[in-house]
Every structure is written in structure tokens, then in C-alpha cells.
Chain A
Amino acid sequence: MASSLKPDSKGVGSSKLPSSSSPASASGMSSEPAESASGSGNDKKKKKSSTKTAKSEGSEGSFDFFDGMVGSDGAENGLVYLNAKWDPDDLSDGDMMSPPSPACVRRIKNDILAIYSDPPPGLCVMPDPHNITKIHGLLTGPFDTPYEGGFFYFLIRFPHDYPISPPRVRLMTTGNGTVRFNPNLYKSGKVCLSILGTWAGPSWSPAQTLSTVLISIQSLMNEKPYHNEPGYKHERTPGDSKNYNDIIMHETIRVAVCDMIDGATRMHMPDTLRAVMESSFPDYYKYYVQVCESHLHLDGQPMNDPFGDSRPTFNFRQLMKWLKTIKARLSDNKTDYSDSDEERTPGQGASNKGCRDCRQDDNLSLEGGAHGKNISGASAEGHSSNTSDGSEGPGGGNSNTS
């Protein structure tokens, strides 16, 4: 994933929206378009409030975000947003539990194929083998940002009436719920993005796709994430922004690199995505070490988070050791992945390589038709798609991320 890739988009929707999702029961593979099944979107579910989310948001301090952003009538809207469902694993409402309509399934497959046929830089997706409405996504931190070289794993669930309602997205790379990577990426995994309905601003539109959602999230990971926080357009204390970047760089290597590679199994990450990380790691290794070496002077100091989040103490020396251990282990296991002997240039091609892997896994299913419910098909099954009519384009031009 590393490759070329700097997302050129920037600053997309500024808000956060919760989405909900849940592992659906539905095997999600219904095939024939049935005229009856149209999931008409209803917004009522979105407004339903769940105490659970409200609470967790409160603890994230999101109420502060609204200060100075919205006026008093905005506050009411704010509450609606705050109560919006965002968690892909939240089973408490029917949105996620009802089986997706055939139209929804076709649209999801279309979205996935569009990514396979024209993979955006640093972005890789993998449908769940058992449930087409559940997608595993891996974003690589963009170049020239404090997220560079990090592996950010997302779980995405499509509601039964997608694309009328937005997908629900959760960041899984949070160091077990302890690290907030960005003013918009909470430690709970909530992604604050207006197009997802988790924040104020341009809201979801059914012209958005899986690809535009992921690119929007990628654009949150920018050069100076400090300023993503509403009300922090200017530094409150000189040096805040750089200080925040140092923290994010440390945490990226600690949590989004080392802990991701060591903890992929714990997170139930699909093997394909794990392979992408492991094959990208050597490309970035030099960069990781460079970051550590140039920040050794910070070791022992507490990370003073400008937003008051509690953080550990800088320890780049220990990160270097951890990186070295991982590198040694990966090179021992090299033969595990068929492409491990390919020559790599730093920062090049890793991500696309990974996506190529994904595609290889399911190329069969892309030919269409096979909607089998047999779980035996393991990885291929999730991709079965009957898009053989091939009419759908990559859906480029239509995204109006805002």
C-alpha cells in the first residue's frame, strides 16, 4: 500500500457521522433482483438515540467540538448527530439485521469491483467471506504525514438500504481502544465524518461509494492533523501542532505498525490484509527507523496531548527494538507469501500489490453468477458477484465528496 500514494484529496467532509453496523445475520448473498425488495431508506432509525453511543461520545469530548461551530440551533442538530448510529457492530437496531435488498447487494458488489478495477493509492478492501455487507478495509498512512507507513484497519458495514443510508465505519486500529489518532478518529473507533453522518457538514449522498468514503477518511490523515479539531485553526500554544505530530508519529509506529502486525490475529483481520501489511513493512522499515532515530531526544518525556488526552511516555528506543524483532521474524517467514521475493522499492507498489492479491483471491467470483450460499467457498464466496453485465463503470466522476 505504500505506494505512490499520497491521497490528493484533502479535507473532505468535516464531520463525523456515526454509522451503525452489525454483523449481519444475513448471508447477504441473495441473487436475483426481486421487484419487491426495495429498501426504502428511513431516516427515523438514524435519529433514534442510543444511550450507549451518547455516552461514549461524551467521554470523547465531542461536545466540545460543537463549541464555536454551531449556534444554539445547531446544538439540536448536534444532538441528532451525536446520537446517530455509527458502530458496525451495534446490533441494537434493525438496520443491520434485516437482510439487504438485492439492489443493495448489487451496489455493494459494484463498489468493491470499482476499487479492484481502479485501486486508489494506499487503500485495500476485502469483503468478509461470510457476509457481503461487511467489508474489511486497510488504509496506509499517506506520505509526508505523521501517519506515513501506518496500517489503519477499518471495519465497514452496509445497512440493508445502502446506498440510501450511509455505511457504518469503525477504526479497528486503536491500540485496543486506547489511542486517538486524530481529532476525527476516536479511540472508540468512531470516525467523525459528515458524509457518514457522524459530524455536521455535508451529509451522506447516495452518489457516494465505498471508495469515496475511504478516500475521505484517508484525507483526515493529513500533514497537520492538529488543525482538524474545530476551533484549532490556529495553534493555541506555539508548537502544539508539531508536538501533536510527534505524538502521532510515535503512536503510528507503536500501534499502527508494530501492534497491527503483532495483533492482526487478535483483531481477526483477514489473512489477505495481514499479508499486505507484512509485505509493505520491509518497504517502510528504513523510514520507521529514521523516524525513531530522529526523535530519540524525546524519550522519557510524557506526551502532552494538546487536547488533554492521556498518552504514554515517548520511547522511540523501545520502538526500534520492536521493529527489529518484527523484521527478523518476517524475514524468517518470508516464504509464507508467494510474492515475498519480489523486488520492492521503498514506498512503491506495496499497496497495490496487496490489492492485486485481493483480486487474485476472488477473481473467480468476479465473473459472476455464483451466488452460492455454500460457506465452503471461503474467501471466494464473499466476492461472488453477478456483475457480469459489466455495465457499471468504476464510478469515478460521480463522487462529490465534500
Chain B
Amino acid sequence: MEGWTGVATWKWIANDDNCGICRMAFDGCCPDCKLPGDDCPLVWGQCSHVFHMHCIVKWLQSQSTNSPCPMCRQEWKWKAG
């Protein structure tokens, strides 16, 4: 054997397949990005709901007063770590 090329796959660990905001798959990226991965990360709220970071940020920025989670309407709090 002269050489080899390593191949790996990765997957976000999310409790659903699609982002509740853009409805795109978590395996892919949000509609504003071209490539999934570190540039288009997933983020979790303390309520355990998960979204593309770009999607939830857009939503939170649009809200002037309170910022409810799109799925459960609890106040959105970032999950640490």
C-alpha cells in the first residue's frame, strides 16, 4: 500500500432533523450559507430546542422586547457550552 486517505463523516446531534425556522435539514446549512459545518453552526436553547445559529439570531434580532423560542415560546436563553 502506497498511501491512504482517511475519510470521516460527521453529524450534528440534534433532536430533530430540520431547523424549525428555515425548515432546512440540520445536516445541511441554513439557506443563507453554502456549506454546512463550523460556519453555519447549530445552537441550543435552555428549552432544548435547536436551530441554525443564523436563523435564531435573525429571529432574536427582529424582536424588540421579549425573545421567545420559536418552538415553545419560552424566553430564549442560550444553553451554555
Taking Cβ atoms with an 8 Å cutoff, the residues of A that contact B are 33-35, 37-43, 101-103, 106-107, 110-111, 114, 161, 163-165, 202, 205-207, 209, 389, 391-393, 395, 397-398, 400, 402
Contacts and interface: CB of A to CB of B under 8 A. Distances in A.
B32 A33 contact: yes
A392 B23 contact: yes
B31 A395 contact: no
B28 A103 contact: no
Contacts of B63: 43
- Chain A interface mostly: loop
A398 B20 contact: yes
B59 A391 contact: no
B33 A35 contact: yes
Given A41-B62, A103-B32, A107-B31, 12 more contacts: A41-B58, A43-B62, A111-B23, A114-B23, A161-B62, A205-B71, A206-B59, A391-B17, A391-B25, A392-B18, A395-B23, A398-B18
Interface in B15-62: 16-18, 20-25, 27-28, 30-34, 54-55, 58-59, 61-62
A107 B73 contact: no
A215 to B, nearest CB: 17
Contacts of A110: 23-24
Nearest to B68: A205
Given A106-B31, A107-B22, A110-B23, A164 B59 contact: yes
A107 B64 CA distance: 23
27 contacts: A33-B33, A33-B34, A34-B32, A37-B32, A38-B58, A40-B62, A41-B58, A43-B64, A106-B24, A106-B31, A110-B23, A114-B23, A161-B62, A163-B22, A164-B59, A165-B62, A202-B73, A205-B70, A205-B71, A207-B70, A391-B17, A391-B24, A391-B27, A392-B24, A398-B16, A398-B18, A398-B20
